[in-house]
Structure 1
Amino acid sequence: MKTTLIALFTLIAIAGCKTSPTGRTQIALYSDSEMNSMGVQSFKQLKEQKLINSDTNVNRYVQCVADNVISVLPKKYANQQWEVILFEDDSANAFALPGGKIGIHTGLLKIATNQNQLATVLGHEIGHVIAEHSNERASQGNLLQYGMQATNAVLQTQNVKYQVEIMSALGMGAQYGVVLPFSRTHETEADNVGLDLMAKAGFNPKESVTLWQNMSKAGNGATPEFLSTHPAPTSRISELRARMPAVMKLKNAATQSGLKPNCKF
Protein backbone atom coordinates (compact mmCIF):
# COMPACT_ATOMS: atom_id res chain seq x y z
CA MET A 1 0.00 0.00 0.00
CA LYS A 2 2.76 2.42 0.95
CA THR A 3 4.64 1.66 -2.27
CA THR A 4 1.51 2.34 -4.32
CA LEU A 5 0.87 5.64 -2.55
CA ILE A 6 4.47 6.78 -3.02
CA ALA A 7 4.30 5.94 -6.73
CA LEU A 8 1.00 7.79 -7.04
CA PHE A 9 2.30 11.00 -5.45
CA THR A 10 5.51 10.78 -7.48
CA LEU A 11 3.51 10.65 -10.70
CA ILE A 12 1.35 13.58 -9.58
CA ALA A 13 4.43 15.61 -8.72
CA ILE A 14 6.14 14.88 -12.04
CA ALA A 15 3.01 15.72 -14.00
CA GLY A 16 2.69 19.09 -12.27
CA CYS A 17 6.32 20.22 -12.23
CA LYS A 18 7.09 23.73 -13.46
CA THR A 19 9.94 26.19 -13.10
CA SER A 20 9.41 29.55 -11.38
CA PRO A 21 10.82 32.84 -12.79
CA THR A 22 13.82 32.47 -10.48
CA GLY A 23 14.54 28.90 -11.61
CA ARG A 24 12.98 27.10 -8.65
CA THR A 25 11.15 23.82 -9.31
CA GLN A 26 7.52 24.00 -8.22
CA ILE A 27 4.36 21.92 -8.25
CA ALA A 28 1.42 23.40 -10.18
CA LEU A 29 -1.45 20.97 -10.68
CA TYR A 30 -4.05 23.46 -11.92
CA SER A 31 -4.37 24.94 -15.41
CA ASP A 32 -4.12 28.68 -16.10
CA SER A 33 -7.83 28.80 -16.97
CA GLU A 34 -8.76 27.15 -13.66
CA MET A 35 -6.62 29.58 -11.66
CA ASN A 36 -7.92 32.58 -13.62
CA SER A 37 -11.49 31.49 -13.01
CA MET A 38 -10.87 31.15 -9.27
CA GLY A 39 -9.16 34.55 -9.16
CA VAL A 40 -11.98 36.29 -11.02
CA GLN A 41 -14.63 34.70 -8.80
CA SER A 42 -12.80 35.60 -5.60
CA PHE A 43 -12.37 39.19 -6.74
CA LYS A 44 -16.05 39.43 -7.62
CA GLN A 45 -16.97 38.33 -4.11
CA LEU A 46 -14.59 40.85 -2.56
CA LYS A 47 -16.15 43.69 -4.56
CA GLU A 48 -19.57 42.64 -3.29
CA GLN A 49 -18.42 42.45 0.33
CA LYS A 50 -16.04 45.41 0.71
CA LEU A 51 -16.51 49.15 0.35
CA ILE A 52 -14.84 50.56 -2.77
CA ASN A 53 -13.14 53.95 -2.72
CA SER A 54 -14.60 56.43 -5.20
CA ASP A 55 -12.07 59.29 -4.94
CA THR A 56 -11.23 60.08 -8.57
CA ASN A 57 -7.76 61.50 -7.90
CA VAL A 58 -6.61 58.64 -5.67
CA ASN A 59 -7.99 56.03 -8.06
CA ARG A 60 -6.25 57.71 -10.98
CA TYR A 61 -3.01 57.62 -9.02
CA VAL A 62 -3.10 53.91 -8.14
CA GLN A 63 -4.19 53.07 -11.68
CA CYS A 64 -1.24 55.05 -13.03
CA VAL A 65 1.25 53.12 -10.91
CA ALA A 66 -0.38 49.79 -11.78
CA ASP A 67 -0.44 50.59 -15.51
CA ASN A 68 3.27 51.38 -15.53
CA VAL A 69 4.13 48.09 -13.83
CA ILE A 70 1.73 46.12 -16.05
CA SER A 71 3.31 47.63 -19.17
CA VAL A 72 6.57 45.72 -18.59
CA LEU A 73 5.04 42.33 -17.75
CA PRO A 74 5.71 39.31 -19.94
CA LYS A 75 3.35 39.32 -22.93
CA LYS A 76 1.16 36.57 -21.45
CA TYR A 77 0.25 38.90 -18.59
CA ALA A 78 0.62 42.31 -20.21
CA ASN A 79 -2.07 41.36 -22.75
CA GLN A 80 -4.59 40.61 -20.00
CA GLN A 81 -7.29 43.12 -19.16
CA TRP A 82 -6.24 44.07 -15.63
CA GLU A 83 -8.76 45.44 -13.16
CA VAL A 84 -7.50 47.65 -10.32
CA ILE A 85 -9.79 48.36 -7.36
CA LEU A 86 -9.07 50.58 -4.35
CA PHE A 87 -10.86 49.21 -1.29
CA GLU A 88 -11.74 51.26 1.78
CA ASP A 89 -9.70 49.38 4.35
CA ASP A 90 -7.32 50.78 6.96
CA SER A 91 -4.90 47.82 6.74
CA ALA A 92 -1.66 48.39 4.81
CA ASN A 93 -2.28 45.70 2.25
CA ALA A 94 -2.62 44.94 -1.45
CA PHE A 95 -3.00 41.77 -3.48
CA ALA A 96 -3.09 40.47 -7.03
CA LEU A 97 -5.06 37.46 -8.21
CA PRO A 98 -4.82 35.23 -11.28
CA GLY A 99 -7.10 36.53 -13.99
CA GLY A 100 -5.73 40.08 -13.94
CA LYS A 101 -7.15 41.39 -10.67
CA ILE A 102 -5.45 43.86 -8.31
CA GLY A 103 -6.82 45.06 -4.99
CA ILE A 104 -5.30 47.91 -2.99
CA HIS A 105 -6.33 48.95 0.53
CA THR A 106 -6.49 52.67 1.27
CA GLY A 107 -4.43 52.04 4.42
CA LEU A 108 -1.45 51.08 2.27
CA LEU A 109 -1.20 54.65 0.97
CA LYS A 110 -0.27 55.80 4.49
CA ILE A 111 2.76 53.48 4.43
CA ALA A 112 3.67 53.52 0.74
CA THR A 113 3.99 57.29 0.58
CA ASN A 114 5.04 57.78 -3.06
CA GLN A 115 4.75 56.14 -6.48
CA ASN A 116 7.98 54.18 -6.08
CA GLN A 117 6.93 52.61 -2.80
CA LEU A 118 3.50 51.75 -4.16
CA ALA A 119 5.16 50.25 -7.24
CA THR A 120 7.25 48.10 -4.88
CA VAL A 121 4.11 46.59 -3.38
CA LEU A 122 2.27 46.16 -6.68
CA GLY A 123 5.34 44.64 -8.34
CA HIS A 124 5.60 42.22 -5.44
CA GLU A 125 1.93 41.23 -5.58
CA ILE A 126 1.95 40.81 -9.36
CA GLY A 127 5.15 38.82 -8.88
CA HIS A 128 3.12 36.27 -6.93
CA VAL A 129 0.83 35.89 -9.96
CA ILE A 130 3.66 35.60 -12.48
CA ALA A 131 5.38 32.98 -10.32
CA GLU A 132 2.08 31.06 -10.01
CA HIS A 133 2.30 30.97 -6.24
CA SER A 134 -1.48 30.58 -5.85
CA ASN A 135 -1.36 27.48 -8.03
CA GLU A 136 1.60 26.13 -6.11
CA ARG A 137 0.03 26.72 -2.70
CA ALA A 138 -3.28 25.15 -3.75
CA SER A 139 -1.45 22.16 -5.23
CA GLN A 140 0.76 21.86 -2.17
CA GLY A 141 -2.27 21.95 0.11
CA ASN A 142 -3.96 19.17 -1.81
CA LEU A 143 -0.86 16.98 -1.79
CA LEU A 144 -0.36 17.51 1.95
CA GLN A 145 -3.99 16.65 2.62
CA TYR A 146 -3.82 13.49 0.53
CA GLY A 147 -0.53 12.57 2.15
CA MET A 148 -1.95 12.97 5.67
CA GLN A 149 -5.01 10.91 4.75
CA ALA A 150 -2.83 8.19 3.24
CA THR A 151 -0.57 8.11 6.32
CA ASN A 152 -3.58 7.87 8.61
CA ALA A 153 -4.95 4.99 6.51
CA VAL A 154 -1.62 3.14 6.80
CA LEU A 155 -1.53 3.66 10.59
CA GLN A 156 -5.06 2.30 10.93
CA THR A 157 -4.32 -0.67 8.68
CA GLN A 158 -1.21 -1.55 10.71
CA ASN A 159 -3.04 -0.96 14.02
CA VAL A 160 -0.25 1.38 15.14
CA LYS A 161 -0.43 2.69 18.72
CA TYR A 162 -0.71 6.43 19.41
CA GLN A 163 -2.25 7.15 16.00
CA VAL A 164 -3.74 10.45 17.17
CA GLU A 165 -0.45 11.66 18.63
CA ILE A 166 1.51 10.67 15.52
CA MET A 167 -0.95 12.39 13.17
CA SER A 168 -0.90 15.51 15.35
CA ALA A 169 2.91 15.61 15.23
CA LEU A 170 2.90 15.06 11.47
CA GLY A 171 0.41 17.92 11.04
CA MET A 172 2.60 20.33 13.02
CA GLY A 173 5.68 19.16 11.13
CA ALA A 174 3.95 19.81 7.81
CA GLN A 175 2.91 23.29 8.92
CA TYR A 176 6.29 24.47 10.22
CA GLY A 177 8.52 22.31 8.05
CA VAL A 178 6.79 22.70 4.68
CA VAL A 179 3.96 25.23 4.50
CA LEU A 180 5.52 28.22 6.29
CA PRO A 181 9.00 27.91 4.75
CA PHE A 182 7.39 27.69 1.34
CA SER A 183 5.45 30.86 2.09
CA ARG A 184 8.65 32.67 3.01
CA THR A 185 10.22 31.36 -0.19
CA HIS A 186 7.27 32.75 -2.13
CA GLU A 187 7.60 36.13 -0.44
CA THR A 188 11.31 36.39 -1.22
CA GLU A 189 10.71 35.26 -4.81
CA ALA A 190 7.92 37.82 -5.24
CA ASP A 191 10.24 40.50 -3.83
CA ASN A 192 12.85 39.64 -6.45
CA VAL A 193 10.39 39.51 -9.35
CA GLY A 194 8.66 42.67 -8.18
CA LEU A 195 11.92 44.55 -7.81
CA ASP A 196 12.82 43.72 -11.41
CA LEU A 197 9.37 44.79 -12.62
CA MET A 198 9.35 48.17 -10.90
CA ALA A 199 12.90 48.88 -12.08
CA LYS A 200 12.06 47.94 -15.68
CA ALA A 201 9.07 50.30 -15.47
CA GLY A 202 11.35 53.16 -14.44
CA PHE A 203 10.49 53.34 -10.74
CA ASN A 204 13.27 53.80 -8.18
CA PRO A 205 14.09 50.42 -6.53
CA LYS A 206 15.90 52.15 -3.64
CA GLU A 207 12.48 53.16 -2.33
CA SER A 208 11.72 49.47 -1.70
CA VAL A 209 14.04 49.63 1.30
CA THR A 210 12.29 52.75 2.60
CA LEU A 211 8.93 51.04 2.17
CA TRP A 212 9.89 48.12 4.42
CA GLN A 213 11.42 50.49 6.93
CA ASN A 214 8.04 52.24 6.99
CA MET A 215 6.30 48.89 7.41
CA SER A 216 8.56 48.00 10.32
CA LYS A 217 7.94 51.32 12.05
CA ALA A 218 4.20 50.87 11.61
CA GLY A 219 4.38 47.58 13.52
CA ASN A 220 3.88 45.21 10.59
CA GLY A 221 5.95 42.03 10.53
CA ALA A 222 6.19 41.86 14.35
CA THR A 223 5.61 38.09 14.36
CA PRO A 224 8.86 36.10 14.79
CA GLU A 225 10.18 35.06 11.40
CA PHE A 226 10.29 31.36 12.32
CA LEU A 227 6.50 31.29 12.73
CA SER A 228 5.66 33.84 10.06
CA THR A 229 4.68 33.43 6.43
CA HIS A 230 6.64 36.60 5.65
CA PRO A 231 10.36 37.22 6.09
CA ALA A 232 11.20 39.61 8.91
CA PRO A 233 11.62 43.20 7.66
CA THR A 234 15.34 43.15 8.52
CA SER A 235 15.86 40.01 6.40
CA ARG A 236 13.80 41.48 3.61
CA ILE A 237 15.74 44.74 3.59
CA SER A 238 19.07 42.88 3.52
CA GLU A 239 17.93 40.87 0.49
CA LEU A 240 16.72 44.00 -1.29
CA ARG A 241 19.97 45.86 -0.64
CA ALA A 242 21.98 42.91 -1.95
CA ARG A 243 20.11 43.07 -5.24
CA MET A 244 20.19 46.85 -5.57
CA PRO A 245 23.23 47.20 -7.91
CA ALA A 246 21.66 44.84 -10.45
CA VAL A 247 18.17 46.37 -10.40
CA MET A 248 19.50 49.92 -10.55
CA LYS A 249 21.00 48.99 -13.91
CA LEU A 250 17.50 47.96 -15.03
CA LYS A 251 16.10 51.23 -13.74
CA ASN A 252 18.76 53.32 -15.48
CA ALA A 253 18.18 51.45 -18.74
CA ALA A 254 14.44 52.11 -18.45
CA THR A 255 15.02 55.81 -17.82
CA GLN A 256 17.33 56.05 -20.83
CA SER A 257 14.65 54.43 -23.00
CA GLY A 258 12.13 57.07 -21.88
CA LEU A 259 10.27 55.27 -19.11
CA LYS A 260 9.77 57.93 -16.45
CA PRO A 261 6.60 57.32 -14.39
CA ASN A 262 4.97 60.44 -13.03
CA CYS A 263 2.03 59.31 -10.91
CA LYS A 264 0.68 61.82 -8.41
CA PHE A 265 -2.46 62.69 -6.48
Structure 2
Amino acid sequence: MTVNEQQEPSVSMRIALLGLALLLAACGESPTGRTQVTLVPDQQMAAIGERTFNEMLRAQPVLRDSRVREQVHCITKALVDALPAPHGDWSVAVFKDETPNAFALPGGKIGINTGMLRIASTPDQLAAVIAHEIGHVIADHSNERLTQQLAVQGGLMLVDLFADEPDSLAHEALRKALGIGAQYGVLLPYSRTHETEADLLGLELMADAGFDPRASLTLWRKMAAAAEGQPLEFLSTHPSNESRLEDLAAEMDAALARYQQAQQGGRRPRCG
Protein backbone atom coordinates (compact mmCIF):
# COMPACT_ATOMS: atom_id res chain seq x y z
CA MET A 1 0.00 0.00 0.00
CA THR A 2 1.43 3.41 -0.94
CA VAL A 3 1.51 6.49 1.30
CA ASN A 4 -1.21 8.15 -0.80
CA GLU A 5 -3.43 5.10 -0.43
CA GLN A 6 -2.91 5.13 3.34
CA GLN A 7 -3.97 8.76 3.54
CA GLU A 8 -7.03 8.31 1.33
CA PRO A 9 -10.14 8.46 3.58
CA SER A 10 -12.48 5.51 3.43
CA VAL A 11 -16.00 5.77 2.05
CA SER A 12 -17.44 5.55 5.56
CA MET A 13 -15.14 8.34 6.75
CA ARG A 14 -16.19 10.56 3.84
CA ILE A 15 -19.85 9.97 4.64
CA ALA A 16 -19.24 10.68 8.33
CA LEU A 17 -17.42 13.93 7.56
CA LEU A 18 -20.14 15.00 5.15
CA GLY A 19 -22.80 14.21 7.72
CA LEU A 20 -20.93 16.18 10.39
CA ALA A 21 -20.60 19.18 8.07
CA LEU A 22 -24.32 19.10 7.29
CA LEU A 23 -25.24 18.87 10.97
CA LEU A 24 -23.00 21.80 11.89
CA ALA A 25 -24.43 23.88 9.09
CA ALA A 26 -28.02 23.06 10.04
CA CYS A 27 -27.75 23.54 13.82
CA GLY A 28 -29.84 26.34 15.24
CA GLU A 29 -32.11 27.25 18.13
CA SER A 30 -35.85 27.06 18.57
CA PRO A 31 -37.73 30.09 19.98
CA THR A 32 -37.28 28.61 23.48
CA GLY A 33 -33.51 28.29 23.05
CA ARG A 34 -33.52 24.54 22.44
CA THR A 35 -30.86 23.30 20.01
CA GLN A 36 -32.41 21.86 16.86
CA VAL A 37 -31.25 20.58 13.48
CA THR A 38 -33.19 21.46 10.31
CA LEU A 39 -31.79 20.42 6.94
CA VAL A 40 -34.67 21.22 4.57
CA PRO A 41 -34.79 24.79 3.09
CA ASP A 42 -37.67 26.92 4.38
CA GLN A 43 -39.01 27.52 0.86
CA GLN A 44 -39.25 23.78 0.25
CA MET A 45 -41.02 23.21 3.58
CA ALA A 46 -43.50 26.00 2.77
CA ALA A 47 -44.16 24.44 -0.63
CA ILE A 48 -44.79 21.05 1.01
CA GLY A 49 -47.20 22.67 3.47
CA GLU A 50 -49.13 24.54 0.80
CA ARG A 51 -49.43 21.48 -1.45
CA THR A 52 -50.62 19.30 1.43
CA PHE A 53 -53.11 21.93 2.60
CA ASN A 54 -54.58 22.34 -0.89
CA GLU A 55 -54.93 18.57 -1.23
CA MET A 56 -56.83 18.44 2.06
CA LEU A 57 -59.12 21.27 0.98
CA ARG A 58 -59.98 19.29 -2.15
CA ALA A 59 -60.40 15.96 -0.38
CA GLN A 60 -62.28 16.94 2.80
CA PRO A 61 -65.50 18.93 3.28
CA VAL A 62 -65.01 22.40 4.73
CA LEU A 63 -67.44 24.14 7.08
CA ARG A 64 -69.27 26.99 5.34
CA ASP A 65 -70.83 28.56 8.47
CA SER A 66 -69.81 32.21 8.11
CA ARG A 67 -70.16 32.98 11.83
CA VAL A 68 -67.76 30.20 12.83
CA ARG A 69 -65.34 31.03 10.04
CA GLU A 70 -65.28 34.71 11.03
CA GLN A 71 -64.59 33.79 14.64
CA VAL A 72 -61.74 31.45 13.72
CA HIS A 73 -60.20 34.03 11.39
CA CYS A 74 -60.58 36.77 14.01
CA ILE A 75 -58.75 34.69 16.63
CA THR A 76 -56.03 33.67 14.18
CA LYS A 77 -55.43 37.27 13.08
CA ALA A 78 -55.18 38.48 16.68
CA LEU A 79 -52.61 35.78 17.44
CA VAL A 80 -50.56 36.37 14.28
CA ASP A 81 -50.55 40.13 14.92
CA ALA A 82 -49.01 39.44 18.34
CA LEU A 83 -46.07 37.46 16.96
CA PRO A 84 -42.74 39.17 17.72
CA ALA A 85 -41.68 38.98 14.07
CA PRO A 86 -43.57 38.65 10.75
CA HIS A 87 -44.07 35.06 9.62
CA GLY A 88 -45.67 35.52 6.19
CA ASP A 89 -49.25 34.81 5.22
CA TRP A 90 -51.42 32.49 7.30
CA SER A 91 -54.39 30.40 6.21
CA VAL A 92 -56.90 28.63 8.43
CA ALA A 93 -59.72 26.28 7.51
CA VAL A 94 -62.40 24.46 9.50
CA PHE A 95 -62.95 20.88 8.34
CA LYS A 96 -66.15 18.91 8.87
CA ASP A 97 -64.70 16.19 11.05
CA GLU A 98 -66.02 15.29 14.49
CA THR A 99 -62.58 14.18 15.69
CA PRO A 100 -61.39 16.77 18.25
CA ASN A 101 -58.19 17.68 16.49
CA ALA A 102 -56.24 20.52 14.88
CA PHE A 103 -53.03 20.63 12.89
CA ALA A 104 -50.42 23.00 11.51
CA LEU A 105 -48.38 22.79 8.33
CA PRO A 106 -45.25 24.67 7.26
CA GLY A 107 -45.90 27.98 5.57
CA GLY A 108 -48.60 29.04 8.02
CA LYS A 109 -51.40 26.58 7.19
CA ILE A 110 -53.75 25.68 10.04
CA GLY A 111 -56.66 23.25 10.07
CA ILE A 112 -59.27 22.84 12.79
CA ASN A 113 -61.87 20.08 12.96
CA THR A 114 -65.46 20.85 13.91
CA GLY A 115 -65.03 18.28 16.69
CA MET A 116 -62.47 20.55 18.32
CA LEU A 117 -64.95 23.44 18.27
CA ARG A 118 -67.30 21.40 20.47
CA ILE A 119 -64.58 21.21 23.14
CA ALA A 120 -62.96 24.64 22.67
CA SER A 121 -66.27 26.35 23.34
CA THR A 122 -65.05 29.89 24.11
CA PRO A 123 -62.83 32.28 22.10
CA ASP A 124 -60.09 32.01 24.73
CA GLN A 125 -60.12 28.20 24.60
CA LEU A 126 -60.07 28.24 20.81
CA ALA A 127 -57.19 30.73 20.96
CA ALA A 128 -55.27 28.18 23.05
CA VAL A 129 -55.73 25.59 20.29
CA ILE A 130 -54.73 27.89 17.44
CA ALA A 131 -51.82 29.41 19.38
CA HIS A 132 -50.52 25.90 20.03
CA GLU A 133 -50.58 25.15 16.31
CA ILE A 134 -48.89 28.45 15.48
CA GLY A 135 -46.22 27.46 18.01
CA HIS A 136 -45.47 24.35 15.96
CA VAL A 137 -44.98 26.47 12.85
CA ILE A 138 -42.80 29.23 14.29
CA ALA A 139 -40.60 26.62 16.02
CA ASP A 140 -40.05 24.84 12.67
CA HIS A 141 -41.12 21.49 14.13
CA SER A 142 -42.12 20.00 10.77
CA ASN A 143 -38.64 20.64 9.38
CA GLU A 144 -37.03 19.14 12.46
CA ARG A 145 -39.21 16.04 12.28
CA LEU A 146 -38.50 15.58 8.58
CA THR A 147 -34.78 15.97 9.25
CA GLN A 148 -34.97 13.29 11.95
CA GLN A 149 -36.74 10.91 9.60
CA LEU A 150 -34.16 11.54 6.88
CA ALA A 151 -31.41 10.85 9.41
CA VAL A 152 -32.99 7.54 10.43
CA GLN A 153 -33.38 6.47 6.81
CA GLY A 154 -29.78 7.48 6.13
CA GLY A 155 -28.57 5.42 9.08
CA LEU A 156 -30.43 2.34 7.87
CA MET A 157 -28.96 2.81 4.40
CA LEU A 158 -25.45 2.88 5.92
CA VAL A 159 -26.17 -0.39 7.73
CA ASP A 160 -27.08 -1.93 4.37
CA LEU A 161 -24.10 -0.37 2.61
CA PHE A 162 -21.43 -1.65 5.00
CA ALA A 163 -22.95 -5.00 5.91
CA ASP A 164 -20.61 -7.96 5.37
CA GLU A 165 -23.58 -10.19 4.51
CA PRO A 166 -26.55 -7.97 3.54
CA ASP A 167 -28.92 -10.92 3.32
CA SER A 168 -27.96 -12.53 6.63
CA LEU A 169 -30.38 -12.91 9.52
CA ALA A 170 -27.94 -11.06 11.81
CA HIS A 171 -27.94 -8.05 9.52
CA GLU A 172 -31.73 -8.01 9.30
CA ALA A 173 -31.99 -8.22 13.09
CA LEU A 174 -29.57 -5.31 13.45
CA ARG A 175 -31.53 -3.25 10.94
CA LYS A 176 -34.80 -3.85 12.80
CA ALA A 177 -33.16 -3.04 16.13
CA LEU A 178 -31.87 0.25 14.74
CA GLY A 179 -35.29 1.11 13.40
CA ILE A 180 -37.00 0.36 16.72
CA GLY A 181 -34.31 2.24 18.63
CA ALA A 182 -34.71 5.29 16.41
CA GLN A 183 -38.50 5.19 16.77
CA TYR A 184 -38.59 5.04 20.56
CA GLY A 185 -35.25 6.69 21.30
CA VAL A 186 -35.39 9.65 18.91
CA LEU A 187 -38.61 10.19 16.97
CA LEU A 188 -41.23 9.79 19.70
CA PRO A 189 -39.36 11.69 22.44
CA TYR A 190 -38.70 14.54 20.04
CA SER A 191 -42.36 14.63 19.20
CA ARG A 192 -43.24 14.94 22.89
CA THR A 193 -40.65 17.73 23.12
CA HIS A 194 -42.34 19.49 20.21
CA GLU A 195 -45.77 19.24 21.83
CA THR A 196 -44.52 20.64 25.12
CA GLU A 197 -42.68 23.44 23.34
CA ALA A 198 -45.78 24.31 21.28
CA ASP A 199 -47.84 24.37 24.50
CA LEU A 200 -45.50 26.90 26.12
CA LEU A 201 -45.10 29.02 22.98
CA GLY A 202 -48.86 28.99 22.51
CA LEU A 203 -49.42 30.00 26.12
CA GLU A 204 -47.15 33.04 25.73
CA LEU A 205 -48.65 33.95 22.35
CA MET A 206 -52.29 33.84 23.46
CA ALA A 207 -51.40 35.98 26.49
CA ASP A 208 -49.54 38.49 24.31
CA ALA A 209 -52.58 38.66 22.01
CA GLY A 210 -54.90 39.48 24.92
CA PHE A 211 -56.54 36.07 25.39
CA ASP A 212 -56.83 34.72 28.94
CA PRO A 213 -54.07 32.06 29.29
CA ARG A 214 -56.03 30.29 32.05
CA ALA A 215 -58.33 29.03 29.31
CA SER A 216 -55.52 26.69 28.21
CA LEU A 217 -55.86 24.73 31.47
CA THR A 218 -59.61 24.50 31.01
CA LEU A 219 -59.16 23.35 27.43
CA TRP A 220 -56.74 20.54 28.21
CA ARG A 221 -58.84 19.36 31.16
CA LYS A 222 -61.79 19.11 28.78
CA MET A 223 -59.61 17.31 26.24
CA ALA A 224 -58.52 14.84 28.92
CA ALA A 225 -62.14 14.22 29.92
CA ALA A 226 -63.14 13.67 26.28
CA ALA A 227 -60.36 11.15 25.65
CA GLU A 228 -61.43 7.55 26.10
CA GLY A 229 -57.87 6.49 26.86
CA GLN A 230 -54.31 7.49 26.24
CA PRO A 231 -51.22 5.35 25.65
CA LEU A 232 -48.32 5.40 28.08
CA GLU A 233 -46.34 8.61 27.75
CA PHE A 234 -43.17 6.64 26.91
CA LEU A 235 -44.85 5.21 23.80
CA SER A 236 -46.82 8.30 22.86
CA THR A 237 -46.11 11.19 20.54
CA HIS A 238 -47.85 13.53 23.02
CA PRO A 239 -47.19 14.29 26.68
CA SER A 240 -49.59 12.76 29.17
CA ASN A 241 -52.50 14.97 30.13
CA GLU A 242 -51.07 15.28 33.65
CA SER A 243 -47.64 16.37 32.36
CA ARG A 244 -49.18 18.89 29.99
CA LEU A 245 -51.31 20.49 32.71
CA GLU A 246 -48.39 20.60 35.17
CA ASP A 247 -46.13 22.31 32.61
CA LEU A 248 -48.79 24.89 31.75
CA ALA A 249 -49.58 25.56 35.41
CA ALA A 250 -45.89 26.12 36.15
CA GLU A 251 -45.78 28.94 33.57
CA MET A 252 -49.17 30.45 34.37
CA ASP A 253 -48.00 33.31 36.61
CA ALA A 254 -45.65 34.58 33.90
CA ALA A 255 -48.37 34.16 31.27
CA LEU A 256 -50.87 36.11 33.35
CA ALA A 257 -48.37 38.96 33.67
CA ARG A 258 -48.05 39.04 29.87
CA TYR A 259 -51.84 38.92 29.54
CA GLN A 260 -52.31 41.88 31.88
CA GLN A 261 -49.66 43.83 30.01
CA ALA A 262 -51.36 43.07 26.69
CA GLN A 263 -54.73 44.16 28.05
CA GLN A 264 -53.25 47.40 29.36
CA GLY A 265 -51.69 47.97 25.94
CA GLY A 266 -55.09 47.76 24.25
CA ARG A 267 -55.01 44.15 23.04
CA ARG A 268 -58.58 43.05 23.75
CA PRO A 269 -59.71 40.77 20.92
CA ARG A 270 -63.46 40.77 20.22
CA CYS A 271 -63.94 37.40 18.56
CA GLY A 272 -67.10 36.19 20.30
TM-score of the pair, normalised by structure 2:
0.92
1:48-69 C-alpha deviation (Å, 9 max, x unpaired): 0000100111111111111111
Aligned twin of 1:148: 156
- Once residues 57 and 132 of structure 1 are traced to their aligned partners in structure 2, the CA distance between those partners, rounded to angstroms, is 31
User: Aligned in 2, Cα 1:220/1:198: closer, same or farther, shift over 3 Å?
Assistant: farther
Provide the identity percentage: 44
Aligned twin of 2:248: 240
Aligned twin of 1:255: 263
Specify the code of the residue in structure 2 equivalent to 1:121: V
1:103-142 → structure 2 map (5 Å cutoff): 103-142=111-150
Aligned twin of 1:61: 71
Aligned twin of 2:200: 192
User: Aligned in 2, Cα 1:216/1:55: closer, same or farther, shift over 3 Å?
Assistant: same
Q: Which runs of 5+ in 1 are unaligned?
A: none
Specify the code of the residue in structure 2 equivalent to 1:233: N
Aligned twin of 1:48: 58
Instruction: Find the partner of 1:70 among 80, 91, 96.
Output: 80
Task: Assess if the C-alpha contact under 8 Å between 1:221 and 1:232 holds in 2.
Answer: no
The structure that has the greater radius of gyration is 2
Q: Does 2:13 correspond to 1:3?
A: yes
Task: Assess if the C-alpha contact under 8 Å between 2:97 and 2:113 holds in 1.
Answer: yes
Task: Assess if the C-alpha contact under 8 Å between 2:152 and 2:179 holds in 1.
Answer: no
Counterpart secondary structure, 1:18: strand
Q: Does 2:94 correspond to 1:89?
A: no
- Once residues 195 and 163 of structure 2 are traced to their aligned partners in structure 1, the CA distance between those partners, rounded to angstroms, is 35
Q: Structure 1 segments of 4 or more deviating over 2 A?
A: 1-6, 155-161
Aligned twin of 2:36: 26
Q: Does 2:239 correspond to 1:231?
A: yes
Q: Does 2:26 correspond to 1:36?
A: no
- Once residues 18 and 90 of structure 2 are traced to their aligned partners in structure 1, the CA distance between those partners, rounded to angstroms, is 38
Counterpart secondary structure, 2:110: strand
- Once residues 53 and 161 of structure 1 are traced to their aligned partners in structure 2, the CA distance between those partners, rounded to angstroms, is 52
> Cα RMSD (Å) of the superposition?
1.6
TM-score of the pair, normalised by structure 1:
0.94
| Larger displacement relative to structure 2 (23-32 or 230-239) | 23-32
Counterpart secondary structure, 1:53: coil
Instruction: Find the partner of 1:170 among 163, 175, 178.
Output: 178
- Once residues 117 and 27 of structure 1 are traced to their aligned partners in structure 2, the CA distance between those partners, rounded to angstroms, is 32
In the TM superposition, residue 157 of structure 1 has moved relative to its aligned partner by 6.2
- Once residues 141 and 166 of structure 2 are traced to their aligned partners in structure 1, the CA distance between those partners, rounded to angstroms, is 37
